[in-house]
Chain A
């Protein structure tokens, strides 16, 4: 008895006589409700599934869920018989009266599904435990009252090998029964604790903190939060599902199993009925183990998959055992097993869909593209910064030195006015230095045009237009400056396009249009020349590469006789 003290303290604090009578009443009611629950559950599930493809199936399913809720309420009151007060209830009130909102609330509320689970379990675990309790008490009462009715049996009461057909023997049985009373009280107490543990786990409201993740939309009413479950039920919430530790659960089940086998042997070893009790106890223990294992896992879809797999395994084993017990004839569980396997496979595919070969590849490609986009952007930014640095270095380094050299040569020239040959040499040297400067200038301009850095794209394109060998009208007004790398590309698109116009459409007029369209910079250079440009010509291919490196597009429209339009679209971020 002491073994259970920690699990049901308030109930155990009651006077012993009250306690055993309450346990008995609890199990009497339990046998009754378990049948109702089992009937409701089996009928509801079977009808819903068989009508699943019609709306009627849905209606039956909803009706079943509501029925389970009603059943759970009854069961909470039944637990109150031993606990002193019913298990607390917490159903969030619907947030509005609409039918769809109520439905959503019903289906989204974990309590609904726990009620559903208990309705089914009551028929298996609850029925087994309660039947056991009643059987025990029945046996003890039968023994005690044997003197009153043994004579009514034609061959006396058979107790195993012993047939009780005389009054002394009957009184001996009464004595035996009386000695068995404490054992019965103790064992029934144990059965009560096991069943209560399941009930508390499934039927008590979850603590708000733990429940938040599951029911984000539900705000329990203040009344519900203060309505703490009596008898330390709340304490059972955070711990393992059963207030009963697993080793105790197993050993208690083994004990009951052995006792039943002894009773069976003592009562004539007829049909081996304890097998059904064993089965019920095994299911209780197996469920305990499965739930414990599920709780030990990390929350997430995989946890539910494992739970599903283990429950399916248990059900499959149960079906096979039932088939064996029923004589191992035609293998009738086949379709049930197939159904379980299919459900499990579907669940597994849903959970692991990202790891399917096709999806995994897709996922890998998406990630790869992300990485490449990021690194390319980084590379381009670095490149743009590098180019500007090179341009600055040229300006402050080589170009400045050459200018200084030119100047000193010029000064030297002034001083050798009397020696024309030396002066001539110096002049040539100075001119060469001047050419070197001019070459460096062209180089620097090709890298990063200074006016672009100084004044921005619109001004730089205006300057290009003014400098161009064709008549150009410029309409450029990007409201803010794009990234340097985009700006430079846009500049060179215009520069190259205008050069092409001058080269191939002499005398034509060109129109440059630069505009921000959404997240893109659109550059359009159109001329009214003869058209017929080769979109893969050298200059245009180079431009296309420059634009495509920035994830942009370059299109060339050039029908013969109707001018050429070069259009570049460069993404430049939000």
Chain B
């Protein structure tokens, strides 16, 4: 797998590069600002770009905007955003730029090496990886704002939990482990979620993404 990384702080950039290489991911190029992303993506055609939200020259959401722009030109590019903050608005904008191959993680998740590598691989393969904090915050807001509206209101509390974990990008097995239930139980919940959200029959991976999007857009 080929990855590029855009991060302005050399300390973090080099650490992440070392981490990825140790885990068999080929980091083909690095950049330190927004315009650099487009340059290395068109030059190296990577599978995934790991991008810090805050980048020079503006030090605002430069990285996010550069990533969305890059996805428009390279629809197959997976984008994993790293941020110091949980910002659902940014997550939503990122997801709006395309359904597959997006991730939004807090920076400290790089310390959970296994999970981080998983997230990178999943995004590169067209899946999603949302930080559990982002999901939790969204879920809290949804519940509070009279969750009765729309199809999400039809979900049982358990089904919501499963959906949250799916939004984080976990597989059925991982969800089952997290909820301490059997794999079969999780599969049943997932089928119910798909049915209640009225998602068309297609391959499971795609439906999972659609379910998460439905959740985020609610």
**Chain A residues in the interface with B (C-beta under 8 A):** 392, 395-396, 399-404, 406-411, 413-414, 430, 433-434, 437-438, 441, 444-445, 450-451, 453-455, 459, 462-463, 466-472, 502, 507, 509
The 4 A-B residue pairs with the shortest CB-CB distance in the complex, in nearest-first order: A406-B111, A469-B144, A454-B60, A410-B111
- Cross-interface CB contact of B141 among A396, A406, A454, A469, cutoff 8 Å: A469
Given contacts A408-B15, A414-B113, A471-B145, contact A400 B85 (CB under 8 A): no
**Chain B residues in the interface with A (C-beta under 8 A):** 9, 11-12, 15-16, 18-19, 22, 54, 59-61, 84-85, 87-90, 106-108, 110-114, 116, 137, 140-141, 144-146
Residues in A with CB closer than 8 Å to B144 are 468-471, 502
- The answer on a CB contact under 8 Å between A403 and B107 is yes
Residues in B with CB closer than 8 Å to A468 are 141, 144-145
CB distance from A222 to the nearest CB of B (A): 65
Kindly state the separation between the CA atoms of A434 and B108 in the bound complex, as whole angstroms: 6
What are 7 A-B contacts with C-beta separation under 8 Å? A400-B11, A451-B90, A467-B137, A467-B140, A468-B145, A469-B141, A471-B145
Kindly state the separation between the CA atoms of A470 and B145 in the bound complex, as whole angstroms: 5
- The answer on a CB contact under 8 Å between B145 and A472 is yes
Residues in A with CB closer than 8 Å to B59 are 392
- The answer on a CB contact under 8 Å between B89 and A466 is yes
CB distance from A412 to the nearest CB of B (A): 10
CB-nearest residue of chain B to A409: B111
Kindly state the separation between the CA atoms of A408 and B111 in the bound complex, as whole angstroms: 7
Kindly state the separation between the CA atoms of A472 and B144 in the bound complex, as whole angstroms: 10
| A contact patch SS | helix
Kindly state the separation between the CA atoms of A441 and B133 in the bound complex, as whole angstroms: 12
CB < 8 Å A-B pair total: 101
- The answer on a CB contact under 8 Å between B141 and A451 is no
Residues in B with CB closer than 8 Å to A471 are 144-146
Kindly state the separation between the CA atoms of A459 and B60 in the bound complex, as whole angstroms: 14
Kindly state the separation between the CA atoms of A404 and B11 in the bound complex, as whole angstroms: 7
Residues in B with CB closer than 8 Å to A406 are 108, 110-111
Residues in A with CB closer than 8 Å to B137 are 467
- The answer on a CB contact under 8 Å between A455 and B61 is yes
CB distance from A45 to the nearest CB of B (A): 78
Kindly state the separation between the CA atoms of A454 and B84 in the bound complex, as whole angstroms: 14
Residues in A with CB closer than 8 Å to B145 are 468-472
- The answer on a CB contact under 8 Å between A411 and B60 is no
Residues in B with CB closer than 8 Å to A454 are 60-61
Residues in A with CB closer than 8 Å to B108 are 402-403, 406, 433-434, 437-438
Kindly state the separation between the CA atoms of A454 and B112 in the bound complex, as whole angstroms: 29
Residues in B with CB closer than 8 Å to A407 are 12, 15-16, 19, 110-111
CB distance from A474 to the nearest CB of B (A): 12
Kindly state the separation between the CA atoms of A463 and B18 in the bound complex, as whole angstroms: 35
Residues in B with CB closer than 8 Å to A453 are 60
- The answer on a CB contact under 8 Å between B89 and A463 is yes
Given contacts A403-B110, A406-B108, A469-B144, contact A411 B84 (CB under 8 A): no
Kindly state the separation between the CA atoms of A471 and B137 in the bound complex, as whole angstroms: 14
Kindly state the separation between the CA atoms of A403 and B54 in the bound complex, as whole angstroms: 15
- Cross-interface CB contact of B88 among A395, A463, A470, cutoff 8 Å: A463
Residues in A with CB closer than 8 Å to B140 are 467, 469
- The answer on a CB contact under 8 Å between B88 and A466 is yes
Given contacts A400-B9, A409-B111, A468-B144, 8 further A-B contacts (CB under 8 A): A395-B84, A401-B11, A411-B19, A411-B113, A430-B112, A433-B111, A451-B90, A468-B145
